[in-house]
């Protein structure tokens, strides 16, 4: 076993030679045997480490069901892009822009960049067009009310709803991670719509982008406006008085009751020298809203009576 070891060697050499023989390493010996044994000692078999893994995939755990994930889409055929153009009511000069707007970051590769940069641009274009539209549509609204309406109109919830109306989910290019989910997240759809707006802007210009944005968002603006009006009586009253009476309402607290942790307030509102109210609430803001509602409904009722009276007088003269 140790014939090839020199007569004079150290203990370290012996340990190294023994380990070399047991482990089957290829460490060269200082005095190699010119006639190595072709049949090594079977008592010391050479075992490779680590052991090789079996070829093929390892079996799933018995408790893990196999999930067949659809293969990620890497592009869209021309006929699919044309179908999407019809849904958008936009005919692209460069359909590559539309394709890039649909690529989620989970599906990007060296030849297919994702839509994040276009989403950034589309967000700005969308904000500009909605702000411009609200500015001209509501000339009497203060900045706070305009910002409030805009924030709802361009929210992820609103944009994802528009994306679903356009069936954008059928065209978005996603990676395996997103495809494994039961439904595409609303944020992904909202971002894809913003990127699509950028694609329209880059391909067709600002006017085409305006037409598209207002077509898909005008119903949403009307919904938000109705909701705002239903809740914000102060805003309604101010718009009416500024337009019809050329004045601004003034609010005054006329009553306070209850302990500090459970106070109640009473507020009246003065419009063109007349006082309406009081309105009550747990906070001053709630009380002001209540007073504004009393005033607005009273002014509207008076205007309706005046209209009827004018109609009666005209009828009698005729």
Q: Read out DSSP for 158-200?
A: HHHHHHHHTTGGGT-B--HHHHTSSS--HHHHHHHHHHHHHHH
Q: Are strands 264-271 and 250-257 parallel, antiparallel or unpaired?
A: antiparallel
pLDDT of the residue at 274: 93
Average pLDDT over residues 140-162: 88
Catalytic, out of 123, 145, 203, 266: 123
pLDDT of 47 over the 60 cut: no
CB 141 within 8 A of CB 235: yes
With H, G, I as helix, E, B as strand and everything else as coil, classify residue 270.
Answer: strand
> Which residues, including other chains, have CB under 8 Å from residue 288's CB and lie 6 or more apart?
234, 251, 267, 269, 279, 281
d(CA 166, CA 160): 10
Q: Identify whether 17 is a catalytic site residue.
A: no
Identify the residue with better confidence: 23 or 137. 137
pLDDT of the residue at 140: 79
> Could you say which DSSP state residue 102 is in?
T
d(CA 115, CA 201): 14
Highest mean pLDDT among 188-202, 218-232, 253-267, 272-286: 188-202
pLDDT of the residue at 106: 84
The superfamily in CATH containing domain 78-231 is Ribonuclease III domain (1.10.1520.10)
pLDDT of the residue at 76: 78
CB 122 within 8 A of CB 194: yes
With H, G, I as helix, E, B as strand and everything else as coil, classify residue 23.
Answer: helix
Q: Identify whether 194 is a catalytic site residue.
A: yes
CB 193 within 8 A of CB 163: yes
Question: Would you state the structure tokens that stand for residue 131, as one six-digit string?
Answer: 């702000």
Under CATH, what is the fold of the domain 234-309? Answer: Double Stranded RNA Binding Domain (3.30.160)
**Chain centroid, CA 40 distance in Å:** 68
d(CA 150, CA 87): 25
Would you place residue 72 in the very low, low, confident or very high pLDDT band (cuts 50, 70, 90)? very low
Neighbours of 247 (CB within 10 A): 13
Q: Where do the H-state alpha helices sit in the chain?
A: 11-23, 78-88, 95-101, 116-137, 143-153, 156-165, 176-179, 186-204, 206-231, 233-240, 284-317
CB 185 within 8 A of CB 135: no
Least Cα distance to 139 among 286, 247, 238, 13 occurs for 238
Average pLDDT over residues 166-184: 81
Average pLDDT over residues 294-302: 88
Question: Would you state the structure tokens that stand for residue 281, as one six-digit string?
Answer: 């609430």
Q: Are strands 274-281 and 264-271 parallel, antiparallel or unpaired?
A: antiparallel
d(CA 280, CA 284): 8
Name the region of 46 (left: φ>0; alpha: ψ -120 to 50; beta: rest): beta
What is the chain's Cα-based Rg? Answer: 39
- pLDDT tens digits, residue range 202-252? 999 999 999 999 999 999 888 887 776 556 788 888 888 888 888 999 999
Break the chain into its structural domains and give their ranges.
1-49, 78-231, 234-309
Least Cα distance to 244 among 222, 272, 265, 268 occurs for 272
Catalytic, out of 17, 119, 145, 194: 194
């Amino acid at each position: 076993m140790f014939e090839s070891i020199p007569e004079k060697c150290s203990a370290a050499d012996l340990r190294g030679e023994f380990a070399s023989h047991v482990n089957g390493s290829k460490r060269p010996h200082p005095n190699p045997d010119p006639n190595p044994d072709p049949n090594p000692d079977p008592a010391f078999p050479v075992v490779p480490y680590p052991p090789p893994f079996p070829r093929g995939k390892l079996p799933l755990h018995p408790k893990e069901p196999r999930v067949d994930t659809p293969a990620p889409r890497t592009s869209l055929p021309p006929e699919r892009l044309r179908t999407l153009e019809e849904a958008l009511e936009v005919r692209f000069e460069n359909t590559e822009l539309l394709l890039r707007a649909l690529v989620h970051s989970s599906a990007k590769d060296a030849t297919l960049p994702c839509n994040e940069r276009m989403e950034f641009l589309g967000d700005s274009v969308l904000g500009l067009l909605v702000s411009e539209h609200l500015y001209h549509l509501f000339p009497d609204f203060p900045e706070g009310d305009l910002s409030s309406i805009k924030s709802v109109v361009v929210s992820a919830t609103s944009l994802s709803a528009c994306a679903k109306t356009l069936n954008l989910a059928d065209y978005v290019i996603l990676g395996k991670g997103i495809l494994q989910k039961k439904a595409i997240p609303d944020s992904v759809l909202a971002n894809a719509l913003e990127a699509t707006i950028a694609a329209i802007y880059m391909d067709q210009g600002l006017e085409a982008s305006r037409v598209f944005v207002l077509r898909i968002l005008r119903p949403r603006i009307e919904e938000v406006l109705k909701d705002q009006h239903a809740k914000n009586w102060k805003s309604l009253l101010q718009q009416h008085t500024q337009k019809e009476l050329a004045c601004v309402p003034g609010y005054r607290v006329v009553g306070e009751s209850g302990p500090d942790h459970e106070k109640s307030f009473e507020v009246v509102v003065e419009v063109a020298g007349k006082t309406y109210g009081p309105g009550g609430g747990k906070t001053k803001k709630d009380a002001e809203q209540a007073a504004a509602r009393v005033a607005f409904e009273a002014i509207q009722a008076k205007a309706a009576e005046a209209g009827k009276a004018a109609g009666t007088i005209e009828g009698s003269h005729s």
